[in-house]
Amino acid sequence: MHLFQYTFLTFIVAFAIQFWVISILKSGASYNNSGKFYLSLVGASVMGILEVMIYDTYKSTVSLYYYLGLGALIWFSLYLYKSVEDTHYLNELLESHLYETRLSTKVLETTDNSQIITIANNLIHRREKDVASIQKILKDPHENKQGHITKSNLFNYMDIGRGIKHKPGPEHRIKGSL
C-alpha cells in the first residue's frame, strides 16, 4: 500500500473511533454535533501524522506535504471549534456528564471505601441535576431558566446557601435570553 492509502485509512478509522465508538462506550449515547466533529478531525489528523511518521521512518523519507496538509487541517478544525454554538457545547457537556454518572455508578458497584462511595454519590447527585438542567435548556434554549431550589441561575455553585442572588453578566447568558 502507498502512503496515501495508509494515511487515509488511519484517518477514517481514527475519526470513526473518536466520533462514535468512544462516545458510545463511555456514556452509552452519542450526541453528534459540530464541536465533536471538529475535535474528531483533530484526533484523526494527529493519528494521520503519526502514520506518516511511521511510514517515513520505515522508508527513510520525509513526506512534507502530508505533514503540512494534516497540520493545516488541525489548525483549521481548532479555528472552527471556536465558533461552536451553545447547543452543540451543551450536547458535548451532556455526554460528558452521562459518562461521569455512568463511571460513578460502576465504582459504587465495586468499592467498599466509604470516601470513594461519598465522592461517587455526590458526583452522581450533582450530575443528575446538571443533566436535567442541560436537557431543559436544550428543550427551550430561549427561556431564562431558574434553579429549582436556589432560584438562582442554573449552574451557580458559588453562592448556593449564602443568600446571594447572582446576576450573570452578558458573557454568561444563553444566546437569545434576556
Amino acid 165: pLDDT? 43
Which residues on adjacent β-strands are paired with residue 164? none
Among 22-26, 29-33, 48-52, top mean pLDDT goes to 48-52
If you search the block for the grid coordinates 463511571, which residue do you land on? 103
pLDDT digits over 95-154, tens only? 888 888 888 898 999 989 889 889 989 999 999 898 888 888 888 866 655 555 555 555
d(CA 28, CA 43): 21
Q: What is the mean pLDDT of residues 43-67?
A: 95
pLDDT band at 171 (very low <50, low <70, confident <90, very high): very low
What CA–CA distances, in Å, run from 98 to 16, 35, 36, 170, 177? 20, 17, 16, 28, 26
Amino acid 63: pLDDT? 94
133, 140 in Cβ contact below 8 A?
A: no
Amino acid 52: pLDDT? 96
Where is average pLDDT lowest: 2-6, 106-110, 174-178? 174-178
pLDDT band at 76 (very low <50, low <70, confident <90, very high): very high
pLDDT band at 62 (very low <50, low <70, confident <90, very high): very high
CA-wise closest residue to 46 among 18, 22, 20, 21: 18
Q: What is the mean pLDDT of residues 33-55?
A: 92
Within 10 Å of residue 49's Cβ, how many Cβ atoms? 21
Percent of the chain exceeding pLDDT 70 equals 76
Q: What is the mean pLDDT of residues 58-83?
A: 94
Q: What is the mean pLDDT of residues 22-30?
A: 73
pLDDT at 166 over 80: no
Q: What is the mean pLDDT of residues 43-68?
A: 95
d(CA 41, CA 32): 13
Amino acid 146: pLDDT? 54
